[in-house]
Amino acid sequence: MNKTNIILPFLFLLPTFFLILLFMFYPLFYSLVISFYDINPSNFQPTKFIGLKNYIEVISSTSFIESIKSTFIFVFLTVSLSVLIGLGLSLLLNLKGILAKILRGVFITPWAIPPIVAAVMWKLMYHTQFGLLNAFLNRFGIQKISFLGDPNIAMLSISIADCWIYASFCALMILPYLQSIPLEIEESASLDGANSLQKFRYIMLPLIKPGLLIAIIIKSLFSFTEFAIVYALTGGGPAGTTNLISYYIYTVSFKALKFNYAASLSYILALISLLFCIFYVYLFRRVK
Amino acid sequence: MSEVKSKGLSTLLVVAAVIVALIIGVVTGYFVKPTAPAEVKTETITKTETIGAATLTKTVTVTVTGTTPTVTVTPPTKVKITWLHTGWGGDTALKIVDEFMKENPNIEVEYVTIKAEEYHSKLAAALATGECPYDIVWLGSSPPGYLYEYADRGWLMPIENYIPKEILNDLLKPAYDTVMYKEHLYGLPWYFRVGYVIMFNEDMLKAAGIKEPAKTWNEVVQQCLTIKEKGVCDTPFSMSLMEDVDTWETFQSLLVAFGGKFYDDEGNCLYNSDLAVEVLQWMLDTIYKHKIVHPACLELEARGILDLLCAGEVAYQFNLNYYMSRANDPAASVVAGKVNTALLPGREKADGGSLSFAPPWGITSTCKHPEAAAKFLAFLGGPKGHKLWAIEKGLAPAYKSLIEDPQVLSAPAMKGLDIWTKQPNVFALSKNYCGPEMKFFAEFEEIAKTELSKAITGVKSPKEALNAIVEAYNGLKGK
């Protein structure tokens, strides 16, 4: 291979690398810098170095603690629901025949819809007076439920909406592992008298574990940074119960215009996500 | 073979040159400051009195070449100004632009919109750059709006020297108070927001044997219970209760209607006064004790609860005055023509004060043609613009001369104005109700609405939630 052929690909990559540098790394670096500074309220430029003051203020803030609590509940609910339902869907999609092919198209649709559109759709379905869900429940004599106005169920409501969007994504993460299970193993298990449940428990589950872990890792990251669902459905309410950290960052930065404070919040969120990833990767290695 | 090699090398060199040029171009464009624009110099000249008045017909440009400045008087030029809004009432807005441009052919107005939810953040980001592309901006519809905050950040231009005195003299007092800050005029009102009013479905009240609407808030409860007992409607009352700015305003408006205040004369916050606790307790009782509030209210903002009234689902609604026109619009409401209004109920008698407010327009400090912008602002936020908004969109005018204008009063969209203008204190409320110079308005509002929601949903007691609001206020004030 001559010199030209070695350099050329890198030259073609250069513009992209430059754009990434400008639009990704520069903002990342700048936000890290302003998280240690006071900012000028007129032009948001850093003025005075204040060290970890913003970080200390964030950690000692009640709103942040409440928001982190809500985020963990949301992550737990959405990851477990999405992965469980995704697993079920992937088993369905793994079936042979024309029906499986049709189902594949149907199940992928929610993930193909932009989350904000899906969220607006769910808002209409959850409407206490005009919503589909209450109309359905009413047929069985069940009183109207305020799915998004009751602090005890609002979190579950937004988690279900989120799960509807991402379950098919989880199914797609698991499906290749299911499809790669050799038929012979299943056949010999059947010959040995294993029933469906046993086949799933002792053959399928160990073999699809890596897929499950990938789905859990990616879905966790999605859930940690979820914004559209909260923005469209509850606006962080009722009583701040759905004020997820990403939405909290949005209100702090774009409503209160405290960009330095929001930057420190973002780095704390990044750190939490990173710790989760390290934990998952550790689990992943153990499984392998 | 060598030809192929040299061809490859030349292609490589061309690609490399293009990439390097691109990078240099981007880096230069990004980091190099533009040379001083001609407008800066023009502005210096137009500040002189002799030219100031004639700016719209003549432009004077100073060109400095080396050390010798030359002054050239150019023929009349057209200036362009940009008006940023949320898009609300777009057809009327465009009509205003057309009419203004017909009267002022030398000024071109560009109408730009950003939806309300993102308006503040996008505008603030544009203003912070110091090169905001917008000249005339909307400053929020909830008291006290962003006027104080933006003025303190240096984003707004004082305009007292640009607006004709007769316009200012004609303004209603609360509207005037809203646009004045630290002895400077920072804008003109879009309209006069009477505030939250009581609306009712006449047919439902009649069906329950109620002859006239309630005069006190306790009477509202009693009448709703009667409506419920008579089987006319299960949950006859509605008000916004979602964790939203509208709910915070609902509470503020009720507090005023009960005769309360937000701040004392020293500027101390009174949101946790005994009366404030009583008001919040009244709200909770309507939901949980009397069960007269429609359950959907817990998840809806002001615009959302309007649909309940329009669908004939509720008998009473506490909502913004300008929604009356929609509730009586046959295209939007099944109870059109049946929705009426009354004097706002009070604590003891019908003396409930309104939380009136005049949502302001302002001119940005980066505006390059302040006189042209001020001329448009005087049209948009002056009596001419107000009359159009009133007749077409049901927005009450903020001018004394228009409040009793027969054309305004007889406009179908202005149904109720004659009643609301009789409400006690409607034109007398001082700036105190809007928050004394609250420059941390947006941040405070976020905390207040969450705490209020905690009380409404039973997470906190009314006293605890209101104490937390006052604590947040004092904390922010201390900063």
Band (pLDDT 50/70/90 cuts) for residue B3 is low
Band (pLDDT 50/70/90 cuts) for residue B64 is very low
> B66 or B312: which carries more pLDDT confidence?
B312
Band (pLDDT 50/70/90 cuts) for residue B417 is confident
Band (pLDDT 50/70/90 cuts) for residue B19 is low
Answer whether residue A245 shows pLDDT above 60.
Answer: yes
What pLDDT shows up at residue B113?
A: 95
What pLDDT shows up at residue B202?
A: 96
Average pLDDT, chain A: 90
What is the average pLDDT across A254-266?
91
Answer whether residue B457 shows pLDDT above 60.
Answer: yes
What pLDDT shows up at residue B35?
A: 40
How far is it, in rounded angstroms, from Cα B240 to Cα B245? 9
Inter-CA distances, B23 with A10, A12, A22, B15, Å: 15, 13, 11, 12
Q: Peptide bond preceding B462: is omega within 30 degrees of 0, i.e. cis?
A: no
Helix (H/G/I), strand (E/B), else coil: B74: strand
> Are the Cβ atoms of A41 and B446 closer than 8 angstroms?
no
Nearest to B128 among A42, A126, A145 (CB): A42
How far is it, in rounded angstroms, from Cα B277 to Cα B270? 10
* Residues B354 and B420: beta-carbon distance below 8 Å: yes
Band (pLDDT 50/70/90 cuts) for residue B5 is low
What is the average pLDDT across B275-293?
96
Q: Peptide bond preceding A182: is omega within 30 degrees of 0, i.e. cis?
A: no
Helix, strand and coil percent figures for chain A, each rounded to 5: 75, 0, 25
What is the average pLDDT across B327-347?
92
How far is it, in rounded angstroms, from Cα B233 to Cα B238? 12
Nearest to B442 among A126, A235, A256 (CB): A256
- Percent share of chain B, pLDDT over 70: 80
Best-predicted range by mean pLDDT (A199-213, B37-51, B138-152): A199-213
DSSP letter assigned to residue B190: S
Chain A, window 47-76: residues with a beta carbon less than 8 angstroms from a chain B beta carbon: 63
How far is it, in rounded angstroms, from Cα B177 to Cα B168? 11
Q: Give the burial string for A123-150 (b: 16+ CB within 10 Å, else e).
A: bebbbbbebebbeeeeeeeeebbbbbbb
Q: Give the burial string for B285-313 (b: 16+ CB within 10 Å, else e).
A: ebbeeeebbbbbbbbbbbebbbbbbbebb
What is the average pLDDT across B225-248?
94
Report the half-sphere exposure of A254 (CA within 13 A, side-chain side): 15
What pLDDT shows up at residue B15?
A: 59
Instruction: Give which of A243, A78, A253 is closest to A156, Cα–Cα.
Output: A78
Helix, strand and coil percent figures for chain B, each rounded to 5: 50, 15, 35
Band (pLDDT 50/70/90 cuts) for residue A281 is confident
Answer whether residue B382 shows pLDDT above 90.
Answer: yes
Q: What is the pLDDT of residues A32-74, one digit of tens each?
A: 999 999 998 888 889 999 999 999 999 999 899 999 999 999 9
> Are the Cβ atoms of A129 and B15 closer than 8 angstroms?
no
What pLDDT shows up at residue A8?
A: 87
Instruction: Give which of A87, A94, A126, A67 is closest to A269, Cα–Cα.
Output: A67
How far is it, in rounded angstroms, from Cα B360 to Cα B175? 9
Nearest to A146 among B8, B299, B453 (CB): B299
What pLDDT shows up at residue B45?
A: 37
Report the half-sphere exposure of B398 (CA within 13 A, side-chain side): 29
Answer whether residue B57 shows pLDDT above 60.
Answer: no
Of the listed ranges B97-111, B120-134, B190-204, B258-272, the least confidently predicted one is B258-272
Answer whether residue A187 shows pLDDT above 90.
Answer: no
Helix (H/G/I), strand (E/B), else coil: A39: strand
Q: What is the pLDDT of residues A137-175, one digit of tens each?
A: 999 999 889 999 999 999 999 999 999 999 999 999 999
10 Å Cβ neighbour count for A188?
12
Phi and psi torsions of B33, nearest 5° = -75, 140
Give the pTM.
0.80
Across B1-106, the runs of DSSP E, i.e. the strands, are 59-65, 68-74, 79-85
Instruction: Give which of A166, A179, A177, A285 is closest to A216, Cα–Cα.
Output: A166
> A267 or B54: which carries more pLDDT confidence?
A267
> Are the Cβ atoms of B296 and A254 closer than 8 angstroms?
no
Residues of A whose CB is below 8 A from B124: 254, 257
Nearest C-alpha of chain B: how many angstroms from A86?
30
The residues, ordered by sequence, that sit 6+ positions from B223 with a Cβ below 8 Å of its Cβ are B205, B208, B210, B213, B214, B236, B315, B316
What is the average pLDDT across A92-120?
86
Inter-CA distances, B352 with A36, A139, B427, Å: 49, 42, 13
- Percent share of chain A, pLDDT over 90: 61
Nearest C-alpha of chain B: how many angstroms from A29?
17
CA max distance for chain A: 78
According to DSSP H, which parts of B47-172 are helical?
Answer: 49-52, 90-103, 116-128, 147-152, 165-170
Residue of B nearest to A39 (CA): B128
Instruction: Give which of A125, A85, A82 is closest to A221, Cα–Cα.
Output: A82
Selected for mutation to probe chain A from B244, B300, B450, B461 (highest A CB count within 10 Å) is B450
What is the average pLDDT across B383-388?
95
How far is it, in rounded angstroms, from Cα A53 to Cα A61? 12
Band (pLDDT 50/70/90 cuts) for residue A224 is very high
Nearest to B454 among A41, A144, A239 (CB): A239
Answer whether residue A196 shows pLDDT above 80.
Answer: yes
> Are the Cβ atoms of B296 and A238 closer than 8 angstroms?
no
What is the average pLDDT across A3-11?
83
What pLDDT shows up at residue A103?
A: 82
Average pLDDT, chain B: 83
Nearest to A14 among B19, B294, B308 (CB): B19
- Strand (E) or helix (H) holding B113: strand B107-113
Strand-pair partners of A179:
none
Strand-pair partners of A119:
none
The residues, ordered by sequence, that sit 6+ positions from B241 with a Cβ below 8 Å of its Cβ are A149, B247, B250, B283, B287, B293, B297, B298, B300, B456
What pLDDT shows up at residue A110?
A: 87
Residues of A whose CB is below 8 A from B153: 41-42
Q: Give the burial string for B412-427 (b: 16+ CB within 10 Å, else e).
A: ebbbbbebbbebbbbb
> Are the Cβ atoms of A18 and B124 closer than 8 angstroms?
no
What is the average pLDDT across B1-14?
56
Band (pLDDT 50/70/90 cuts) for residue B356 is confident
What is the rounded radius of gyration, in angstroms, for the C-alpha atoms of chain A?
24
Inter-CA distances, B454 with A127, B107, B447, Å: 21, 50, 11
How far is it, in rounded angstroms, from Cα B157 to Cα B147? 11
Q: Give the burial string for B94-117 (b: 16+ CB within 10 Å, else e).
A: eebbeebeeebebbebebeebeee
**Would you call A196 an interface residue with chain B, using a CB distance cutoff of 8 Å?**
no
Counting one residue from chain A and one from chain B, the pairs whose CB atoms sit within 8 A come to 125
Q: What is the pLDDT of residues B151-170, one digit of tens each?
A: 988 999 999 999 999 999 99
